[in-house]
Amino acid sequence: MTTTTQPKTSPRTVRRIMLISGLLLILFGAYLLAFLVPDVLRTLPGPEVMTLAHAAEVAGDDSLYATIEDGRWDCSTIEYIRGRASSSASNVPRIITRYTEIFLTDGTSQPEIAMLVLMSGEMDCGNFDGLLPTGYLTRMTSDKRSDLGSRTATFSSGVNLLEFCGYCGTDNSLIGLIAGIVLVVGGLVLLFFGFRIPDLSSEPGVTPGDDLIT
């Protein structure tokens, strides 16, 4: 009975893998940090607390970190955004609720202001009782109005429509920021140890550039 021995990975290959992996981690981490560092700095002072009427006045194309302190949740407008998720145990696709959408209005019988709020996960009407949404406020785009279609039919044609990301803010930005830092540090560690592996091209009998050939 013969046994086969697995060929060992050469130091040259290990060095190449570590250097390429380290560089990729640094690039991806730096990409995350480029977006998230300004975001975290912007939210550090905390959200601006405002009424829904004031939100309608100041909302624009650029997001504003805010807390809305009034308004009435219209539970008849709740919609769930669902998608597929793969179970790690059985790898069988299953449907989960990713987001909950609901309108916050000025509370009048014919609302003049309606803000579409997006929350993470599945929430029912009772979850919104007493909830003051905190997140990013923007004015609703024409494309979003078209996507909503009949969902805005209950509002008058002159209603002031806003959008609000209720799960966006400091917490999510900090998580992403930490992930970016971990990726950069991990990449630097791989580069450090990768460069410490001897370069075989400097050894006798090895032609410079051989370490780049698989």
Sketch the domain layout of the chain as residue ranges. Answer: 48-167
Q: What is the pLDDT of residue 174?
A: 72
pLDDT at 4: 57
Check residue 151 and give its pLDDT: 84
Comparing CA positions, the residue from 8, 7, 9, 11 lying closest to residue 196 is 11
Q: What is the pLDDT of residue 153?
A: 78
The count of residues in the chain is 214
Query: For the whole model, what pTM was predicted?
Result: 0.67
CA angle 160, 162, 168 (to 5 degrees): 170
Quick check: helix, strand or coil at residue 161?
A: strand
What pLDDT is attached to residue 162?
94
- What are the pLDDT tens digits along the chain (214 aa)? 555 556 667 778 888 888 888 899 999 988 888 877 877 777 777 889 999 999 999 999 888 999 999 999 999 999 998 887 765 555 667 788 889 999 999 888 888 999 999 998 899 999 999 999 999 999 998 888 888 888 887 787 778 999 999 888 666 667 777 888 898 899 899 888 888 877 655 544 444 444 444 4
Run of H or E residues at 78: strand 72-86
**For residue 190, with 0-12 CB atoms within 10 Å meaning exposed, 13-18 middle and 19 or more buried, which class applies?**
buried
- Are the C-beta atoms of residues 75 and 128 closer than 8 Å to each other? yes
Res 214: pLDDT: 43
**Residue 171: other Cβ atoms inside 10 A:** 11
CB atoms within 10 A of CB 165: 20
